[in-house]
Structure 1
Amino acid sequence: MNAMVKVMDWSKFTAEEWFKQYGAYIQTCRMKSGNEPDSLGVNQIYWLICENNKGAAPRKNQLICEIDDFEADEVRKIIIDLKYSSRICDSAKAAVKLFIEKNVRGMSLRQMEHEFQLGRTALDSMIFAGKYFLNGHDKRLRIN
């Protein structure tokens, strides 16, 4: 039996884009809620809605999911590995967590200020540190 092994192409997106795509994937899974209406994919439904809303200005934070189940699962594995790794100190984990939260959930600094009870400058520097720590920790993820 010849089994086909899928290999992840990490060069497809940057680290930020992978986490944003993972957030979009989570949102599409929530939209599906178990059943796809009339056997249409969620992206097809999105485009049908866009066709219906001609003239309405597109939102700047709108993101279309471009990853499949396998890629989303690989990104999820990285997030879990970072969260529970004993090789990473607590302060680095906090910085990486903020970087991931910002990108997966699409949060603004203002929203993060209220949720995490941190100042904007501290958040900005911790997100920056998390981004660069992640790049040094996992060579598969690239930053721009």
Structure 2
Amino acid sequence: MNAAVRIMDWSKYTLEEWLKQYGAYIQTCRMKSGNEPDNLRINQIYWLIVENNKGVATRKDQLICKISDFEADCIRKLIVDFQNSTTVCASAKRAVMLFIEKNVRGLTDRKMEDEFKLGRNVLKSMVFCGQYYLAGHDKRLRID
């Protein structure tokens, strides 16, 4: 019995793009699940929205999910493994988590200031450091 081994192609997107795609994937999963209005376990509201949006031009700030379940699971594992790592100091973890939050949730600088109660310059430097730390921590990831 040969099991097919799937390998993640990390070169497909940059680190930021992977996290943004993961955020879009999470939003899509939230829309698909939730209160299922029929016995077939199909969320009719989600499918009506998909059908209505078929000819509508996408907005600049709108992100379309282009990753598979396998790729999303690999990104989730990357985030969880980093969070549970015992070899990374607390300040580096904090910087990386700010970088992840910004990209996965699509937060603006203003929203991050309000939520994390940090100054704009501190946030920008921590997000920048978090990006480079994560890319250096995992050599499969690339940044621009």
Tell me, yes or no, whether TM beats 0.5: yes
In structure 1, the partner of 2:116 is 116
Alignment CA distance shift 1:115-1:9 (3 Å):
same
Paired with 1:17 and 1:47, the residues of 2 have a C-alpha distance of 26
Q: Deviations over 1:64-119 (max 9, x none)?
A: 10111111000000100111111100110010000000000000010000000000
Paired with 2:22 and 2:72, the residues of 1 have a C-alpha distance of 6
Extract unaligned runs of 5+ from structure 2: 35-40
In structure 1, the partner of 2:105 is 105
For 1:88, what is the secondary structure of its paired residue?
Answer: coil
In structure 1, the partner of 2:60 is 60
CA drift at 1:59? 3.1
Alignment CA distance shift 1:47-1:66 (3 Å):
farther
AA of the residue aligned to 2:80: I
Stretches (4+) displaced over 2 A: 34-38, 44-48
Alignment length (residue pairs): 137
Between the two proteins, what is the percent identity of the paired residues? 61
Paired with 1:94 and 1:47, the residues of 2 have a C-alpha distance of 41
For 2:77, what is the secondary structure of its paired residue?
Answer: helix
For 1:78, what is the secondary structure of its paired residue?
Answer: helix
Question: Is 2:17 the counterpart of 1:13?
Answer: no
Paired with 2:100 and 2:3, the residues of 1 have a C-alpha distance of 34
Alignment CA distance shift 1:108-1:47 (3 Å):
farther
TM-score by length of 1: 0.87
For 1:67, what is the secondary structure of its paired residue?
Answer: coil
In structure 2, the partner of 1:49 is 53
Q: Deviations over 1:34-76 (max 9, x none)?
A: 64457xx96x95464152x57xxx4322001011111100000
For 2:53, what is the secondary structure of its paired residue?
Answer: helix
Paired with 1:4 and 1:48, the residues of 2 have a C-alpha distance of 38
In structure 2, the partner of 1:3 is 3
In structure 2, the partner of 1:71 is 71
In structure 2, the partner of 1:91 is 91
Extract unaligned runs of 5+ from structure 1: none
Q: Which has the higher helix share?
A: 1
TM-score by length of 2: 0.87
Alignment CA distance shift 1:47-1:61 (3 Å):
farther
